[in-house]
Structure 1
Amino acid sequence: MVGCVEPQKDTPQQDVHYILGVSYLQEGNASRALQEFHQAYEVDAHNPDVLVGLGRAYQLKGAFSEAESFYLKALKERPDDPLIENNLGALYLDLQRPDDAIHYFGKAASNLMFASSEVSLTGLGFAHFQKLEYLEAIQAYREALVQNPRYAQAHLRLGETYYAMGKTDRAVGEFQQSLKLNGNNPFTHFQLGLAYMKLNNPTEAAQYFRNVVRLAPSSDLGEQADHYLELLQ
């Protein structure tokens, strides 16, 4: 799941470090982001936006205990904030703690002030998916798509659930819909490759696996796709 960081205004010194931290996060440079957020934290250790930034940076670094600590501090400073609750839900997915993820995603999704409820609902669905609660997962994904029919991740996760249930044709339909909305996601291409293999359509499967290799050649997913291409030859 994707965490979020919002811009904020405070003292000029803190503001500069915070903005730089957000910029480094957007570039994928979590180490530099941590440096900037910590300098902002030294100015004001109670600013929830800075605390969220620290949580997000630590999460990207795989330092999940530190991330949890800063997210919880942020939530203490700004209770019932759906953005922070959504980030906690995403963290607990990373930690394979689906019950905690369900709690926080559910709170965020039920907050009428949260403008991105489809994100939390999709996270909620994936937490149920982790627990093999497929019907509950489908319900959450469908609710997400009611909120935003063009949310590619919800279509992708819904397809993933159908695939796990053996409903491969329906899975392909959702994967294709996700691909129309975000054609550069290698994981969607990979899932389509697997689905077409299951449907005994090696030609289509190979095409999607080649797309994975093209989009993510040096990744673990790219290596897996390359392995399947060898099997399909």
Structure 2
Amino acid sequence: MKMSKCYREVDKLSAYKKGMDAMKAGNYEEAITHFRQALENDPDNPLLYTNMGSLLTRAGEYEQALACYRRAIQLDDEQAGAYYGAGNISYNVENYQEALQFYKQAEALGMNDQSLHMMMGMSEYQLDNVPFAMARLQRAVELDADDEEARFYFGLTLAKSELITEAIEAFEAVIDKNSSHADAHYNLGIAYFSKSENRKALDYFHKTLELQPDHYLAAHGKKQVVKAMEQ
């Protein structure tokens, strides 16, 4: 009996390690297979369910992923990673209020990294809670200045708050990192148009359409600028 137990423990650790190695290598289907084996050996391990939830999320199996996160929380209600993962599932299916509640649970348990602030800011933005979104996204930018999407959405919240000069700075910073970010160019066009700087606005709408010819909002913006310049 003793030898048999030792064999199961070694096998469990091996399956878990193989799953982690496969996940790091991007081999998600293989990783899922290994984690399922590990769960057969250790069915009450919340961390395994959290990792399985992460893998299933990446595979687009949202319902199964959420079930794993809920099981992890049931086994250990201090699994911050499980709450965060469940929040991502809710966000992906556009249930932003539920996503925010999950993220707040993760934060209450001590999670304080850039990705959490980013996703909380995104949830608040989708719910049109602009001041809260701005604060979260600003913190996300402070924690990772290279995250262009955090900075882009921070710019959108600034623009919604009519802080146009600050929004322009944010969008220009995005373009400094990624000159092909069509929506950053488009929003610069909108910002400059709102300041009646029509030539700059037109240049940014042109650039947007160069990057994304089917950007109908930029096409409409271009027409509006041209019309204003002809008056």
TM-score by length of 2: 0.71
Contact 1:160–1:171 (8 Å) recurs in 2: yes
Please give the alpha-carbon distance, in whole angstroms, between the structure 1 residues aligned to 2:122 and 2:164: 18
**Corresponding residue for 1:125?**
121
Structure 1 residue 13 corresponds to structure 2 residue 11: yes
The answer for the alignment partner of 1:227 in structure 2 is: 214
| Equivalent residue, structure 2, for 1:217 | none
User: Comparing both structures, which one devotes a greater share of its residues to helix?
Assistant: 2
Q: Relative to structure 1, is the Cα distance of residues 179 and 48 closer, same or farther in structure 2, using a 3 angstrom cutoff?
A: farther
Whole-Å separation in 2 of the counterparts to 1:48 and 1:60 = 19
Which structure 1 residue ranges, 5 or more long, are not aligned?
1-9, 214-224
Query: Which residue of 2 is the match for residue 222 of structure 1?
Result: none
**Displacement of 1:138:** 1.0
C-alpha distance in structure 1 between counterparts of 2:18 and 2:214, whole Å: 40
Distance 1:18 1:208, change over 3 A: farther
* Counterpart code for 2:67: S
- Is the CA contact 1:41–1:47 (under 8 Å) kept in the aligned structure 2? yes
- Tell me which of 50, 59, 62 is aligned to 1:61: 59
CA distance in structure 2 between the partners assigned to 1:101 and 1:192 by the alignment: 26
Q: Classify the secondary structure of the residue corresponding to 1:46.
A: coil
**1:150 matched to 2:145:** yes
More RCO (CA 8 Å, sep 6+): 1
Q: After superposition, what is the alpha-carbon deviation per residue over 1:107-138, rounded to whole angstroms, capped at 9, x for unaligned?
A: 222334x3x43322221111111111112211
C-alpha distance in structure 2 between counterparts of 1:209 and 1:196, whole Å:
13
TM score, norm. by length of structure 1? 0.70
Deviation at residue 85 of structure 1 after TM alignment:
1.6
Cα deviation digits, residues 169-215 of structure 1 (max 9, x gap): 433422444566xx4696xx2331222332354545565776xx7xx
**Higher alpha-carbon Rg:** 2
Supply the RMSD in Å over aligned alpha carbons. 3.2
Query: 3-state SS of the aligned residue for 1:11?
Result: helix
Partner of residue 195, structure 1: 187
Q: Do the aligned partners of residues 66 and 28 (structure 1) sit closer, same or farther apart at CA in structure 2, a change above 3 Å counting?
A: same
